[in-house]
Chain A
């Protein structure tokens, strides 16, 4: 098993996508099926950007074994009041500034859900959220 850790700064859009980019490289080196890599990249990018756009600070732990990639994203932030509503396509609380950049379509969480095999989201208001995503690496 392989474990890597990353920190994600809230508000720093210049680095948004770096974690997804690192993990994409690793999965390529491991010769994981291209379709599966694409799904992991979409889900991880969206989860990473959500920390940047909606939280103050986050920590990402990636575990890869011969069966699964497990992505654990834990942030300090406002948390999510209504998880079902947040998972609905089109729902967004993104600021005007963030929307101007083309974020805030309310498609991130639905994108994540569509592309992972397992998803758990736990939230504590004014503390933060913990998102755990799992994708099977073998067909």
Chain B
């Protein structure tokens, strides 16, 4: 499934990185600990988190994540948006809590 389809299906906000929306997503990983993500997120995965600072972009780029999904109505910092545009890795957002959005995305990817 493409990121743009996930955006439509789950009614997500797109903050930045539009040029990466055509990418295929291969799965998702939910965590707010950077070293945990560094060790466990796979290439092409969406990263679901409540972190908003620019280090999440550095990690996403190094891990070839397909997108970042911010929970609970949180917004990325300006420096995070800038890096998202440079890297072409979209930052998405939802008002939902981590548990809820992880569940919905899980259902969507496994249907």
Taking the closest CB of chain A, its distance from the CB of B17, in whole angstroms, is 17
Q: What residues on A are CB-neighbors of B16 within 8 Å?
A: none
How does the 8 Å CB contact mask read for B60-98 relative to A, with 1 for contact and 0 for none? 011100000000000000010000000000000000000
Chief secondary structure at chain B's binding surface: helix
Number of chain A interface residues as a range: 20 to 34
Q: A21-B62, A41-B62, A45-B62 are in contact. Are A103 and B39 (CB under 8 A)?
A: no
Selected contact of A103 from candidates B35, B43, B49, CB within 8 Å: B35
Q: Are A102 and B51 interface neighbours, CB within 8 A?
A: yes
Q: Does A59 make an interface contact (CB < 8 A)?
A: no
Band of interface residues on B: 20 to 34
A89 vs chain B, min Cβ distance (A): 10
Residue A111 interfacial (CB < 8 Å): yes
State whether the Cβ of A72 lies closer than 8 Å to any Cβ in chain B: no
Counting chain A CB atoms within 10 Å of each CB, the highest count among B34, B36, B62 belongs to B34
Chain A interface mostly: helix
User: Which residue from chain B places its CB closest to the CB of A44 in the assembled complex?
Assistant: B62
Given known A-B contacts A21-B61, A24-B62, A45-B62, A13 and B55 have beta carbons under 8 A apart: yes
Q: Is B55 within 8 A of A16, CB to CB?
A: yes
